[in-house]
Structure 1
Amino acid sequence: MHRAYLFLLLCNLLWAGNIIFGKLVTSELTPLWITFLRWFIAILILVPITQLLERPNWMGILRKHWRPLALMGIFGGILFNGLTYIAITYTSPTNVALISALMPAFIMIFSVLFLHEKVGITQILGLALSFFGVVFILTGGAPYQVFQTQYNLGDLLMLVVGLCWAIYSILAKKLSHVTPLTATTISSCFAVLFMLPFLPFSPVDLVQVTTMGWVGILYIGIFATVGAFVLWNISVCELGASKSSISMNLVPVYTGILTIFLGGQLAVSQVIGGLIVFGGMILTTNLVQFGLVHKKTVRNLHNRVG
């Protein structure tokens, strides 16, 4: 169980790096080509690794589960990533990371509706606390101005991205009997196949891509795709979609840290908001498992609320 939480911490760090590199790469390649190269690189690594470690019955799995795997490729491979890169061209990496904090809310709602997962009072409170932390960051320490903020096309697209990720996470949970590595590999292949027919309509000159651009593509393909998606799917299978989703509130925090590391600056409100987000994540992931809260205390709290 603790391994899954560690995987989530690392997974979201890799995704924060994807946002930083994504902003760089979108100046040299179209979102479609970035998404295609991301998954093409990924399957070059995933297919041999999966065959070596698990030796799955490829055709048997495809015959039985091709529909949900294909949908995972569409929603998690193409739409989630492609729309994110489009959003980055209109808004800042910080905004992309901050708005992504709405994804846990989508996933929690979908998990209750379609997976019948039970959501406790601590999860609801943790989600609310984390979301407040993100609003605190987004509004510069003035959350009462949240409805006065003007959002651009990139911000709105991130809302659609959140819905796509919620659908992907639900599909991953329903495929819990297919190993995370195999599911990621097959859905990646579907994503690449589905994008192939559209590449000629988005021509690019790969020769003109700079060295830093290729470094960004390699990072996105290897670490933000192979590493992050496998870690995510393992965690979803062990913890459930709603619990795992709360950790995505760490992406804005990680993005802020990376911004400082790269020479940028953070406001005091971003630091305070980041701490609130982290506190909400700890609360939601069930403090009982870490021995920080006695089980009887949680039971009493649930009884009072119920």
Structure 2
Amino acid sequence: MTDAPHPLLARFSSRTVGIAAAVITVLIWTSFIVIARASNDPARGGLLTPFDIAYCRIVGACLILLPLGAWLVHQDRARGIRGSSWLRISPLPGHITIKTGFFGGLLYALLAYSAFVYAPAVHASVLMPGSLPLWTALLAMWLLSDRITPARAAGLALIVLGDLLVGGLSLLQVFEGGSVWIGDLLFMTAAMCWACYSVLARHYRLDAVRATIAITTFACVAYLPMYTAMALTGVVKSQLFHAPWRDLLFQAAFQGWGSVVISGVTFTQMIRHFGPVRSTMITALVPGLSALSAVLLLGEPLHWNLAAGLLLVTGGILFGVRAAAPNPSKNIAVKPVSKRAGG
């Protein structure tokens, strides 16, 4: 991809587009945590199961991204580029589509939505954004031979302390019959899956749009037919064919169009204007904003350990990002989606 602005954006200044993209990205990522909890919380009586919501997410994203993927593949083939697509829909080769799609397109969604059944949104605000840079750094060190500097290690240490204050204390409920710890483990595992996708995208130097289409293509092929058959035959408990259409359309629109498509585009635009370091610092607002939204909109309590964990995780993200400031001349247009954390 090039850095040339879209014709529709050319009438606005780069600063205006960058600020608008940053605001939209932060709003969607914050809303993702709050809406996912409100939709999956058993106490709120939502009809759709976590797997149903994942289904709606994939369907919504497919409606936009699969036609775009087929068009990109057609364009590639017209230019004589062969062997760079999968099923003539994903604009990436099959082995890359499958690996990135498994972690970033399917497993992440299933784990994240399932976690909100057990744990509140405030926990997600700390553990999902907080675990992501930790897992990403460890996987990059192992698979990409990245070096963790002492300053970055200090930032990661703050994140670990924040995660322990939230997830560690919930683990103490294992023998008391509590279930919040299950959600906390699922949040951290979901973050690990997205970190795997992030590292793979970096390893293969993937274009943002093509990577998003690829992971959606894999999720479509691997999940939609199987889950449809299981829901129709009663193998799994599903409300897909009983829930009101407005619920299905809302989840498809927000989870699919918003969390996958729109936030992917706006994050890419934000990266182009602000750069990766400043962009990550902007998205460090998400833990605090989503926690505050959960308290105000969902009535969730903000206990001392949650507040302390939130401060440590946010501080660790900011400290680690500033310590790892890259060369400003480095090309930043190819990997933005790999760093997306929320939705």
Q: Into which bin does the TM-score normalised by the smaller protein fall?
A: 0.7 to 0.9
Structure 2 counterpart of 1:92: 120
Where does residue 78 of structure 1 map in the other structure? 106
Asked if the contact 2:125–2:291 (Cα under 8 Å) also holds between the matched residues in 1, the reply is: no
Structure 1 pair 54/261, CA: closer, same or farther in 2 (3 Å)?
farther
1:276 aligns with 2:312: yes
Q: Decide which moves more: 251-260 or 192-201.
A: 251-260
Deviation of the 1:170 alpha carbon: 1.3
CA distances 1:255-284 after superposition (whole Å, capped 9, x unpaired):
212224426355373445433333222211
- CA contact under 8 A between 2:126 and 2:309: conserved in structure 1? no
- Quote the residue 1:45 is aligned against: 64
Give 1:110's aligned amino acid. L
Following TM superposition, by how much is the alpha carbon of 1:192 offset from its aligned partner in structure 2, in angstroms? 0.6
Tell me the amino acid that sits aligned with residue 107 of structure 2. L
Residue of structure 1 equivalent to 2:29: 15
1:161 corresponding residue in structure 2? 190
CA RMSD of aligned residues (A): 4.0
In structure 2, the CA distance between the partners of 1:132 and 1:54, relative to structure 1 (3 Å rule), is: farther
State the alpha-carbon separation in 2 of the partners of residues 167 and 99 from structure 1.
16
2:161 aligns with: 132
Indicate the residue corresponding to 1:227 in structure 2: 262
Contact 2:32 2:255 in 1 (8 A): yes
> Is 1:211 equivalent to 2:239 in the alignment?
no
- CA distance in structure 2 between the partners assigned to 1:71 and 1:14 by the alignment: 26
> Among 148, 152, 156, which residue is 2:181 paired with?
152
CA distance in 2, matches of 1:69, 1:236: 23
Measure, in 2, the Cα distance between the counterparts of 1:263 and 1:47.
35
How many residue pairs end up in the alignment? Answer: 281
**Aligned residue in 2 for 1:25:** 39
In structure 1, what is the equivalent of residue 222 of structure 2?
194
Deviation at 1:161, TM superposition (A): 1.8
2:297 paired residue number? 262
The structure-2 alpha-carbon separation of the partners of 1:244 and 1:192, relative to structure 1 and needing over 3 Å to count, comes to: farther
1:57 counterpart = 2:80: no
Deviations along 1:171-190, one digit per CA (max 9) or x if unpaired, are 111231x4210111122111
User: Could you say which residue in structure 2 is the equivalent of 1:294?
Assistant: none
Give the number of the structure whose residues are more often helix, by fraction.
1
Distance in 2 (alpha carbons) for counterparts of 1:131 and 1:272: 12
Q: C-alpha distance in 2, partners of 1:245/1:70?
A: 27
| In structure 2, distance between residues paired with 1:122 and 1:266 | 33
Of 198, 201, 204 in structure 2, the residue corresponding to residue 175 of structure 1 is: 204
Unaligned runs of 5+ in 2: 1-14, 41-45, 87-91, 175-179, 233-238, 327-343
**Structure 1 gap ranges (5+):** 291-306
Q: What is the CA-CA distance between 1:124 and the residue it aligns to?
A: 1.2
Decide whether aligned partners of structure 1 residues 158 and 276 sit closer, same or farther in structure 2, where only a CA change above 3 A counts: closer
What is the aligned-residue identity percentage?
Answer: 22
* 1:50–1:56 contact (8 Å) kept in structure 2: no
Asked if the contact 2:127/2:184 (under 8 Å) is kept, the reply is yes
The structural deviation recorded for 1:76 is 1.0
Distance in structure 2 (CA, Å) of the matches to 1:66 and 1:60 = 9
Letter in 1 for 2:55: F
Q: Tell me, yes or no, if the aligned pair for 1:123 and 1:283 is still in contact at 8 Å.
A: yes
- Could you tell me which residue of structure 1 aligns to residue 131 of structure 2? 102
Change (3 A) 1:8 1:51: farther
Distance in 1, Cα, partners of 2:67 & 2:266: 18
1:157/1:247 CA distance change after superposition, 3 Å: farther
Q: What's the TM-score once normalised by structure 2's chain length? A: 0.66
**Does the 8 A contact of 1:104 with 1:248 survive in 2?**
no
1:218 to 1:146, Cα distance in 2 relative to 1, 3 A: closer
Matched AA of 1:34: I
Q: Is the 8 A contact 1:86 1:154 kept in 2?
A: yes
Instruction: Name the CA distance, whole Å, in 2 between partners of 1:111 and 1:236.
Output: 20
